Structure 1
Amino acid sequence: MTDAIETPRAVARPAAPSALLLLAHGSRVPEAKEYTRALARAVGSSWPGRVEVAYLRHTRPRARQALSMLAEAGHEQVAVVPLLLLSSAFHSRVDLPKALSNPLGRAPLVTPVMGGTTGEPDKRLVAALRRRLAELDVEFDAVVLVATGSTDVGAYAEVTAMASALGTDLGLPCRAAFAATTTPTPGEAADELRRAGARRIAVASYCLASGVLYRETVEASTAAGVVGVSQP
């Protein structure tokens, strides 16, 4: 007597995302919203599905509103792409999960936070920072990488590691600085580089969009006598 052979059962695979939700921080500065919208248009030109934008604060729609709208439109699976800070700071660890809790439809997929990694700095971010510096079209012999700032020790280390990677890529001294919350400030980092012999210092903006902190970075860096501040 032979053993019965069980017929294999088909295993349902998770549905591929039919929509992307770009989740930005939000800002009171009008051009910050346009930065995010421009990015959404660029993504939409190559993504076959629907692309929408939402914000954590200051601007609408908020994440749950956008997820509900997409669910009502028939999108069973949505991928959320965080456009928050370029590190695993408080917004990424706390605000992001809270904003995405209790959606109307299926829980969304969430991609990793760009720049938030315990490994080597992302070479694509290094290349993007270098391109933005090249757009300044000025000569410089040192760089200050300015991030928004965080009290999170891990986020601080990630920004410092990115500054080191950018400096190695450029073959120039590069120091990390922060627009708020922690030190060194852009001016303090520039002074440190000058004491080490630098004469023409450029600032690389390590943020995803223009906003209040970017404006403050430009003002503080200009007051510190740098030769230019790159765009986000």
Structure 2
Amino acid sequence: MRSARLTGAGLVRSGGPGAAGEPLLLVAHGSRDPRAAEATRALARAVAAARPGTPVLASWLDHTEPGPTEALRGLAAAGHSGVTLVPLLLTAAYHRRVDIPAAVAAAHQAGSPIRVRVTDVLGPVGTEADPALLAGLRRRLAEARPGRFDALVLAAAGTRDAGARGSVGRVAEALGAALGTRTRVSYASAAPPAVDVAVARLRAGGARRVAVAAYFLAPGLFHDAVMVAAGEAGAVAVAAPLTDAPELVDLVLRRVDAQPCAGG
């Protein structure tokens, strides 16, 4: 059973002791790989630094403590009357539609009186990919130093949700348009094509230098597998996950400052 204590769980306060401001709860997917949790904590620290006076807490849906229910209970016990929950998710699939509302409901059923406002996910809202998200992907791609490339694969974790895959496709289309490059999508699980297949198809179609942009928030087994498979297929570079990129911090805070989305 998860503990409701916040000690060591990633609560970050900026602005010194007694900083006032409604806390932010960042909720990540979670991974067995400890690098993923550390990436989420790094993002929480960066968000706190960008929003002085606001307590920022990281939590995870699986594998790492605290879970969002326990985090909400702990915040309520600490005297907070309200919190803004930010789903650190790139698509509005099962975790956003089911897991997060269930976690909030469980906290309320346990007697936590805290008011919870849930923001949109970090991926596209409606038909548009956020410029900050695209800028973060471009930053990580430039850091990978691929040099000149004539085709690009956007590698994502994968989902069986057709609507979520459509949102990944919109990001790929917008990123390709911004870079003036042919772009295809690949998935590490749940849906085809795999990244090596996508790279091979682009090379078979005449592309000589194919780069891979990583549509991941944190490192882990999926990103590791993408790096290996893409390299074996002849990709010239694979970008790192977004982690705590400044553009991602900006996107989180703009989700916080936007009007609340439906359903929490």
State the TM-score, normalizing by the size of structure 2.
0.79
Q: Which runs of 5+ in 1 are unaligned?
A: 1-15
Q: Does 1:121 align with 2:129?
A: yes
- Cα deviations by residue, 1:139-181 (Å, 9 ceiling, x for unpaired): 2211100110001010111111111110000001110110101
- Residue 219 of structure 1 deviates from its aligned partner by 1.8
**Could you tell me the percent identity over the aligned residues?**
46
The answer to whether the 8 Å contact 1:17/1:78 transfers is no
- Residue 17 of structure 1 deviates from its aligned partner by 6.1
Distance 1:96 1:206 in 2: 21
The answer to whether the 8 Å contact 1:17/1:77 transfers is no
Name segments (4+ residues, structure 1) moved above 2 Å: none
Q: 1:211 is matched with which residue? A: 220
**Structural mapping, 1:146-161, within 5 Å:** 146-161=155-170
The answer to whether the 8 Å contact 2:124/2:171 transfers is no
Q: 2:70 is matched with which residue? A: 65
Distance 1:116 1:96 in 2: 18
Q: 2:146 is matched with which residue? A: 138
Distance 2:139 2:47 in 1: 19
State the SS of the aligned residue for 1:100: helix
Q: 1:201 is matched with which residue? A: 210
Q: Does 1:97 align with 2:105?
A: no
**Structural mapping, 1:29-48, within 5 Å:** 29-47=33-51, 48=53
From 55, 58, 66, give the equivalent of 2:60: 55
- Cα deviations by residue, 1:103-144 (Å, 9 ceiling, x for unpaired): 212231111011142221111111111111100112221110
Q: Which runs of 5+ in 2 are unaligned?
A: 1-19, 242-264
Q: Does 1:81 align with 2:86?
A: yes
Distance 1:214 1:110 in 2: 28
State the TM-score, normalizing by the size of structure 1.
0.89
- Cα deviations by residue, 1:164-213 (Å, 9 ceiling, x for unpaired): 11000000111011010100110111122112211111110001111121
By relative contact order (CA 8 Å, sep 6+), the higher-ranking structure is: 2
The answer to whether the 8 Å contact 1:116/1:155 transfers is no
Distance 1:123 1:52 in 2: 25
The answer to whether the 8 Å contact 1:87/1:117 transfers is no
The answer to whether the 8 Å contact 2:156/2:187 transfers is yes
Larger Rg: 1
Q: 1:178 is matched with which residue? A: 187
**Structural mapping, 1:210-229, within 5 Å:** 210-229=219-238
The answer to whether the 8 Å contact 2:81/2:115 transfers is no
